[in-house]
């Protein structure tokens, strides 16, 4: 199939208040996709609804033509950092080993091969020397790199990251986006909730622009235009030019 993920007429509400409405789009295989929009636009809601983490009012989602329940083991999700208990007494390597659990099943313990895979994934994100540290001892950027290593250990086909660059150092951000591009080049599909418009042209292939509803979707050059962005952010085109959008 040409399309990795297809979302049709997706709507979600919280306590009777509409969060996103009638979202429809399709993304081709092997794309690095940025989900952008103003604060409160429903970016994280969209991602969580696609993953079945929150109930939807209407809509359907398929992954290469298959339903979520049939591909869950092939989906890796990295939530926002504030959703994670960083005080939990677990080492960096054990966090990454957890990525192998979907393949092992609940009654099987990780073997040497899973632990070696974890070390390889940590090396790929530049965190092998931290494998014995407690996860809470790391910086924000290091923590995000560890969770990306866990996603790599899972052997996923679909990667979802919710605001992975918030509160991290530039070195880690560059490392993460480089790894995500490598994953994309392997034919995987990667979704990233993102807020910095000045970097989307360098980071992503496609964009999904939201403000409760779908404003525009497609290649970056199609979406990242002042008149299109202004429709979502309700901001004057001149202001967007100063931000570097469309310049």
pLDDT category of residue 177 using cuts at 50, 70 and 90: very high
pLDDT at 52 > cutoff 80: yes
Nearest of 212, 211, 213, 207 to residue 225 by alpha carbon? 207
pLDDT (tens digit, 9 = 90+) per residue, 189-212? 999 999 889 899 999 999 999 999
Query: Which residues neighbour 131 within 8 Å (Cβ) at sequence distance 6 or greater?
Result: 91, 92, 93, 118, 119, 122
pLDDT category of residue 168 using cuts at 50, 70 and 90: confident
pLDDT at 74 > cutoff 80: yes
Residues 111-135: what's their mean pLDDT?
88
pLDDT at 247 > cutoff 50: no
Residues 66-84: what's their mean pLDDT?
88
pTM exceeds cut of 0.75: yes
| Cα–Cα distance for residue pair 90/83, rounded to 1 Å | 16
| Cα–Cα distance for residue pair 204/181, rounded to 1 Å | 9
The more confident residue out of 139 and 88 is: 139
Q: What is the pLDDT of residue 64?
A: 92
């Amino acid at each position: 199939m040409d399309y990795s993920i297809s979302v049709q007429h997706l709507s979600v509400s919280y306590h009777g208040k509409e969060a996103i409405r009638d979202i429809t789009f399709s993304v081709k295989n092997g794309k690095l996709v940025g989900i952008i929009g103003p604060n409160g636009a429903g970016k994280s809601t969209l991602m969580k609804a696609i993953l079945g983490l929150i109930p939807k009012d209407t809509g359907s989602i398929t992954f290469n033509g298959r339903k979520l329940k049939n591909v869950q083991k092939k989906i890796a999700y990295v939530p926002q950092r504030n959703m994670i208990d960083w005080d939990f007494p677990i080492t960096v390597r054990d966090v990454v080993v957890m990525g192998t659990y979907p393949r092992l099943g609940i009654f099987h313990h990780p073997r040497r091969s899973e632990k070696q895979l974890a070390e390889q994934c940590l090396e790929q994100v530049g965190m092998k020397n931290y494998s014995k540290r407690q996860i809470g001892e790391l910086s924000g950027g290091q923590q995000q790199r560890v969770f990306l290593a866990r996603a790599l250990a899972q052997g996923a086909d679909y990667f979802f990251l919710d605001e992975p660059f918030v509160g991290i150092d530039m070195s880690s951000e560059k490392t993460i986006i480089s790894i995500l591009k490598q994953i994309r080049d392997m034919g995987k599909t990667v979704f990233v909730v993102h807020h910095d418009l000045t970097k989307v042209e360098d980071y992503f292939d496609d964009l999904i622009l939201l403000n409760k509803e779908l404003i525009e979707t497609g290649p970056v050059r199609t979406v990242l235009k002042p008149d299109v962005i202004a429709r979502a952010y309700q901001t004057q085109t001149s202001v967007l030019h100063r931000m570097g959008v469309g310049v």
